[in-house]
Structure 1
Amino acid sequence: MTVSLKDVAERAGVSIKTVSNVVNHYPHVTPAMRARVQRAIDELGYVPNMTARHLRKGRTGILALAVPELGNPYFAELAGAVIDVAAEHEYTVLLDHTGGGREREILVSQGFRARVIDGLILSPIELAAEDLRGRDQDAPLVLLGEREYDLPYDHIAIDNVAAARAAVRHLLALGRSRIAFLGARTDRVNEPSQLRLRGWREELTLAGVAAPESLIAPTGGWAHADGAAAMARLLDSGARPDAVFAYNDPIAIGAMRVLAERGLRVPGDVAVVGFDDITEGRYGSVTLTTVSPAKQTIARLAVESLVSRLDGARGRSGAPVPGPGRRELRAEWRLVERESTLGRG
C-alpha cells in the first residue's frame, strides 16, 4: 500500500500541512516538530510523489542538457555532474546531443520538447545570436561555453585564454621552446579552440619565443584519432616540437600514442599538456598533465541558475515576477601537473 501524507500526519499526530512543510523543506518548522514528522516518515517508509509535486507547480520535473557530443569524455563527465546536482533539486535530466551543428542547435534551443522540459542547459558551437533572439519559450535557458550572446540568458564559462597561457607557461618553465598546438579549428572562430590557440600565441609572444604557423596542427574533430592524425602530419612535415599543448585530452592522448610509435619519449623528447582532465588521462602508462575545469562547479551553476529562475518565475499570487537579467558566471580551473611533463618522480 502507498503511504500518503495523511498516513504520516496521523502517525505523527500533526496536520497534513505540517507534514507537507517538512517534506518541502520549509524553514518555519521547529526542530522538534521536524524530528517528530521525520520519525513518522522513516517508520512508515513514506516516499514523496515527485511527479505530483512538480505537476502542482505546473512543471514536468525534467531539465534538459544538450551538448555537442555525448561520446566526448568531457561532456559525458559534465552530464554526470549535472544529473547529480539536478537530483539534489529533485529534477530528472534529459540528455541530447547536437553534433555541434547549427540546425540541430536551433531545433533544441527553440524548444522542440517544450512540453516535456522545465528548463534547458545548452552548449552551443554554431548557434548565432539571431537564432536565439526570436526564442519564444517559457522554459529558461542557460548557455555553456565560449560563445557570448548579448541576450537575456545566463552564460557559464571558464577563462580559456588564461588557462591556455598557464599550460604554455608551465612548458616554458620546463625549458621547452618549440611548443606545438594541436586541435585548432580554423573553420569555427568562436569556439574554445580559437581561445586556447590565442592563449598559446600570447604566452609565447610574452616570453619572446617563436610561435610559427608550422607548429599549429588543425584537427577535424575532438577525438583520439584526430589527435593521432594531427601529430603524425606534424612529424611528417619535418616539424620537431619539444612540447605539445592539445585542445583537449583525447587529442593529447592520441598524440602521445603516435609519439610512442615514432620512438619519441614523453616527456623526455616531447612534453604533452591536454585540457579537460578526463578520467582516462589519469590512468595511462604516462599520466597526462592537463587543465582541469571545475566540472562540478559548472554543473552546479547551470542547474541552480535554472532552478532559481523557475522558482522566481511566479510570486505567491501566481502573477509573473520579473527575473534577473543576463548573468555571466565564471567557473574556476587549475593546471594539474603529471608525468607527461614532469616524468616519473
Structure 2
Amino acid sequence: MPTTLRDVAQLAQVSVKTVSNVVNGYPHVSAGMRRRVEAAVEAIGYRPNRSARTLRTGRTGMLALIVPAADLPGIGGLARAVVRAAAGRGYRVVVNPVDSDPARAAIANPPLPVDGCLLLADLPAAPGVGGLPLVRLGRPAPGGHVDRVGIDHARASRDATVHLLGTGRRRIAAIDAGPGGPFPTPPGIQGYADGLRAAGLAPLPGHLLQAPSHQRADGYRAARTLLAQHLRPDAVVCASDALAVGTLCAAFDAGVRVPEDLAVIGVGGSEEGRWTRPALSTVSADTGFIARQAVARIVARIAEPHAAPVDVVAPHTLLPRASTRRADRSGMLHASR
C-alpha cells in the first residue's frame, strides 16, 4: 500500500496537519519541526498524490532548475543536491538546460508546468521566468530584485588572492566572466583587487580579463591572452573552476609549467578539479547548503509571492591543491599553506 500523510505523521510524532503544511510548502513551520517531517518523509518513502494536490491547490508540485546547456563543472552535483532537497519538501525537479550565450539566450517558460524556477546565476533573465516565482543560485541579480542563494564572491576571490600571495606570487592576474550585474565592478574582480591592495599591490596592465562566459573554452582563450603578454603573470585567479580548467589547458599548450611558472586557482569546488593534473586549487562552496536554502526560498516565494527579496550567503572553504604549490628560491616545490 502507498504511504500516507498519516504514516509520516506517526513516524515524525506530529499532527497530520503539520505534515501537510511541510509537504505543501507552507512557510510557517519551525525549522526543527520541518527537519523532523522531512526526515520521516525520506525514511518512509512518502510521495504525495500530485494529481489530487494540483486539483486542490492549483499547484503542480514541480520546480524547474534552469542551467546552462554547456556541461560546466559542478552542475551535476548541484542538480542532485537540489533534487534531494526538493524531495524532502514534496517537490520534483525538472532540469531545463538553456543557451548560456547572453546574445542568444532567451529564458521563457519551462517545458513543463511548474510552480517556481531555480535559475543558475550568470544566465540572463527578467525578474521572473514566465511570471513564475524565481530564486537565483550564485551571483546576485541585476538590481537585487529576486531571492538569491550563493557565496560571497568578493570575499571568495579575495581569499583566493591572499592564498596566492602567501605562496610568494606577486604578478597575479584575474579572469572573470559573465555580466557584472548591479555592481560597477563585478564582485570577484573587486575581491581580487582588495586582496592585492591589502598587500600594497595593484593589478598590472592587461592582467584583468572578462571572458564572455564560464565555459572552459573562454577560460582557455583568456589565459592564452595573458600568457602572450610581455610581463606574464605568475598566478591567475579564475572566477570559476571551468575557467581555471581552461587556463590549465592553455598553460600546457604554451609550455608554461603549473605551478612552477604559473599558479592557478578557481572558484566552485567542483569534482572535476580533483582530477586535473596538477589538481586544481579552488574555493569550494557548500553545495548542500545552497541547494537546501534555494529550495526553502522558492517554497517560501511560492507561498508569499510579494514578500521582500532575501539574500542568503553560503559558506565557502579554500582548498589548496597542487596547482598553487609554492616554490622557494631554488625552484623546489612545497605544499601550499
Aligned residue number for residue 180 of structure 2: 189
Q: Provide closer, same or farther for how the CA distance between residues 17 and 104 of structure 1 changes in structure 2, counting only shifts above 3 A.
A: closer
State the 1:75 CA deviation: 2.8
The aligned amino acid for 1:28 is S
The aligned amino acid for 1:149 is G
C-alpha separation between the residues in 2 aligned to 1:61 and 1:75?
Answer: 22
Query: Which whole-Å deviations, capped at 9, do the CAs of 1:165-194 have from their partners, x for residues lacking one?
Result: 110001111111001112455xx3328992
Is 1:143 matched up with 2:144?
no
Aligned residue number for residue 330 of structure 1: 313
Aligned residue number for residue 127 of structure 2: 132
Q: Provide closer, same or farther for how the CA distance between residues 208 and 21 of structure 1 changes in structure 2, counting only shifts above 3 A.
A: closer
- Alignment gaps of 5+ in structure 2: 17-43, 326-332
Aligned residue number for residue 286 of structure 2: 294
Q: Provide closer, same or farther for how the CA distance between residues 83 and 341 of structure 1 changes in structure 2, counting only shifts above 3 A.
A: same
C-alpha separation between the residues in 1 aligned to 2:193 and 2:90?
Answer: 45
Answer whether contact 1:102 1:127 (CA < 8 A) is retained.
no
The aligned amino acid for 1:123 is L
> 326-335 or 167-176, which moves further after superposition?
326-335
SS in 2 for 1:213: coil
Q: Provide closer, same or farther for how the CA distance between residues 220 and 70 of structure 1 changes in structure 2, counting only shifts above 3 A.
A: closer
Q: Provide closer, same or farther for how the CA distance between residues 234 and 148 of structure 1 changes in structure 2, counting only shifts above 3 A.
A: closer
Report the structure, 1 or 2, having the larger helix content: 1
SS in 2 for 1:60: coil
The aligned amino acid for 2:232 is R
The aligned amino acid for 2:108 is L
Aligned residue number for residue 38 of structure 2: none
Give the greater-gyration-radius structure (CA): 1
TM-score by length of 2: 0.76
Residue in structure 2 matching 1:174, options 135, 149, 167: 167
State the 1:213 CA deviation: 2.7
Query: Which whole-Å deviations, capped at 9, do the CAs of 1:285-318 have from their partners, x for residues lacking one?
Result: 21111111122111111111222344x45xxxxx
Aligned residue number for residue 51 of structure 1: 50
TM-score by length of 1: 0.74
State the 1:28 CA deviation: 3.0
Aligned residue number for residue 329 of structure 2: none
Answer whether contact 2:74 2:270 (CA < 8 A) is retained.
yes
Aligned residue number for residue 341 of structure 1: 324
- Alignment gaps of 5+ in structure 1: 6-15, 30-44, 314-321
C-alpha separation between the residues in 1 aligned to 2:243 and 2:117?
Answer: 29
Aligned residue number for residue 83 of structure 1: 83
> 61-70 or 155-164, which moves further after superposition?
61-70
State the 1:107 CA deviation: 2.0
Query: Which whole-Å deviations, capped at 9, do the CAs of 1:138-188 have from their partners, x for residues lacking one?
Result: x4322232224353x422232111110110001111111001112455xx3
State the 1:57 CA deviation: 3.6
The aligned amino acid for 2:166 is A
C-alpha separation between the residues in 1 aligned to 2:254 and 2:5?
Answer: 71
